[in-house]
Amino acid sequence: MKLFQVILSALIIMTTTSACSADTPQSVDMIVEGDYLVTMDAEGTIIQDGAIAVKNGEILATGTRQDIHAQYTSENVIPGTNRVLMPGLINGHTHTAMTLFRGMADDYDLMTWLTNYIFPMEGRFVDPEFVKIGTELACLEMIRGGTTTFVDMYFYPEVIADVTERCGMRAIIGAPAIDFPSPGFNGWDDSYAAAIEFVTNYQSASGRITAGFAPHAPYTVTPEHYAALAAKAKELGAPITTHIAEDQAEVKTIKERYGTTSIDLLNKQGAFDVTMIGAHIVWPTDEDMDILKEKGVGPIHNPTSNMKTAAGFSPVQEMISKGIDVGLGTDGAASNNDLDMWEEIRMAALIHKGFNADATVMPAETVLQTATSMGARAIDMGGQIGSLEAGKRADMIQISLDAPRLTPLYNVLSHLVYVADSEDVVTTIIDGQVVMLDSEVLTLDAEAVKAAAVAKSDEIKAALAQGPSD
């Protein structure tokens, strides 16, 4: 009798389950479609007539439109006719609020630009209001262009985190630490204390924001200070992002001061024993690259900034061929002068071919990986974002193929790398939330953000017209 009941129950469950999957598609929050679903998974899968089911901010399933609609139903379907659906772009290194310094100091080498222009202007103008307005402008620009995650390094990280939370983006926000006086701080001691307080106490309500440390660079932060920060980062399980081996002046300074390279120096301070996001890394030696590989450091390539400040050409193809995960970034808008990841993608695909006189260097798929899947691994978020696969967070964008310059289409990856622009991005979804639809950013008031930026720039212009502050 009991056995019969067990068999009967099992039969009922089996019948119910199959009836459920055959006749009643599962209700989900959203189905997003694309004529080309570029997953950026390890196999490089591209699904023609693709779709993705999203629930609770997570990707439930990817497949063909037909399969997804057979298994799932939603009141919220974002159609994908003549659109590419792909992972959101990851900007691995920026200084968001520097959008307000866009175009203020061009055509100087890195150290002249920093020492004579940027550091003095930051000391004079950067305060919480400046950072709020500049970060809102940055987020508006990034969402518009299909960036869904960024790694930031700037002053007043709690203000940056607040703006980022409100506008729906995902970010690693590094609290700055530097040895000399900077906005809000007299020097190392108080910037270090504030950074520890931020990383220890910051809680992201949405879970989209990770707090980390952002010591500026080996030429502005002593090895002892890096060691102290690294120990604290290890204790708190927090990531570090810092500028490393950016230009020849740094290489020379570090050699003179410490008799070694920036990478060897930081490694010896334990700075690579935690998640380390290394901005630039333009001048690694062979030994340096071995350290990066062994320690799992994620170099972030910033091609436009490196050319603009004459920092040089990073050997990204060598690092990638050694198995190092390299990400892509814009750097701040004061050395770029925008936050357009499509431009970085194109630059990364082109400049190394020219520099190496070898057209096979940095092929389209590899470059796209640096902005998505490989870029996610470089910032130690490969398990959550960077590709469109079941179980990952729903960070994705749709690119319209309507523009004449995207017609005809033989190879979708070729178009994404060599033709597509920010203006072609029509939908941006982060953590399952639609933050831009039909090219309209929904989480920020674009006109108000731009007006506030113009008003702030008018204040800065008026102050500069009156001459130096001291």
Place of tokens 């674009």: 446
172/420 with CB nearer Zn ion? 172
36/113 with CB nearer Zn ion? 113
CA-to-CA distance for 253 and 94, rounded, in angstroms?
24
Q: How far is the CB of 357 from Zn ion (least distance, A)?
A: 29
Which residue lies nearest Zn ion, judged by its C-beta? 331
Q: What are phi and psi of 397, to 5 degrees?
A: -135, 155
Q: Which stretch binds Zn ion (CB under 5 A): 24-32, 262-270, 284-292, 331-339?
A: 331-339
CA-to-CA distance for 141 and 135, rounded, in angstroms?
10
Element (H, E) at 52: strand 46-55
Q: Which stretch binds Zn ion (CB under 5 A): 166-174, 328-336, 350-358, 377-385?
A: 328-336
CA-to-CA distance for 140 and 434, rounded, in angstroms?
14
Distances (CA, A) of 307 to 98, 107, 211, 273: 18, 10, 30, 30
Q: How far is the CB of 76 from Zn ion (least distance, A)?
A: 38
CA-to-CA distance for 246 and 226, rounded, in angstroms?
17
Cα separation of the two ends of the chain: 95
Half-sphere exposure of 94 (CA within 13 A, CB side): 32
47/240 with CB nearer Zn ion? 240
Q: How far is the CB of 280 from Zn ion (least distance, A)?
A: 7
Q: Taking CB under 5 A as the rule, which mask of x and - marks residues 69-108 in contact with Zn ion?
A: ----------------------------------------
Contacts of range 193-198, beta carbons closer than 8 Å, 24 or more positions apart: 195/229, 196/232, 198/157, 198/158
Q: How far is the CB of 421 from Zn ion (least distance, A)?
A: 24
Q: How far is the CB of 156 from Zn ion (least distance, A)?
A: 17
Indicate whether 247 belongs to the interface with Zn ion (CB under 5 A).
no
Interacting residues of 93 by C-beta distance below 8 A, sequence separation 6+: 151, 153, 241, 277, 279, 280, 300, 302, 327, 329, 330, 331
Q: Which stretch binds Zn ion (CB under 5 A): 263-271, 324-332, 355-363, 386-394?
A: 324-332
288/331 with CB nearer Zn ion? 331
Q: DSSP secondary-structure letter at 263? A: H
93/346 with CB nearer Zn ion? 93
241/400 with CB nearer Zn ion? 241
Q: Give yes or no for a contact between 92 and 298, defined as CB atoms under 8 angstroms apart.
A: yes
247/331 with CB nearer Zn ion? 331
Task: Select from 13, 131, 37, 18 the least CA-distant residue to 86.
Answer: 37
Q: How far is the CB of 305 from Zn ion (least distance, A)?
A: 7
331/380 with CB nearer Zn ion? 331
Q: How many residues bind Zn ion (CB under 5 A)?
A: 1
Q: How far is the CB of 68 from Zn ion (least distance, A)?
A: 40
Interacting residues of 358 by C-beta distance below 8 A, sequence separation 6+: none
Q: H helices of 116-274, where?
A: 119-125, 128-144, 157-167, 188-201, 223-236, 248-258, 262-268
Q: Which stretch binds Zn ion (CB under 5 A): 79-87, 228-236, 323-331, 457-465?
A: 323-331
Place of tokens 């729906």: 168
Q: Which stretch binds Zn ion (CB under 5 A): 66-74, 189-197, 326-334, 378-386?
A: 326-334
Q: Taking CB under 5 A as the rule, which mask of x and - marks residues 279-318 in contact with Zn ion?
A: ----------------------------------------
304/373 with CB nearer Zn ion? 304
Residue from 331, 338, 344, 424 binding Zn ion (CB under 5 A): 331
Q: How far is the CB of 281 from Zn ion (least distance, A)?
A: 12
CA-to-CA distance for 94 and 102, rounded, in angstroms?
13
60/333 with CB nearer Zn ion? 333
Interacting residues of 434 by C-beta distance below 8 A, sequence separation 6+: 30, 78, 427, 428, 442
Tokens standing for residue 390: 């079941």
Q: How far is the CB of 388 from Zn ion (least distance, A)?
A: 29
244/274 with CB nearer Zn ion? 244
Q: How far is the CB of 339 from Zn ion (least distance, A)?
A: 12
Q: How far is the CB of 278 from Zn ion (least distance, A)?
A: 11
Contact set with Zn ion (CB under 5 A): 331
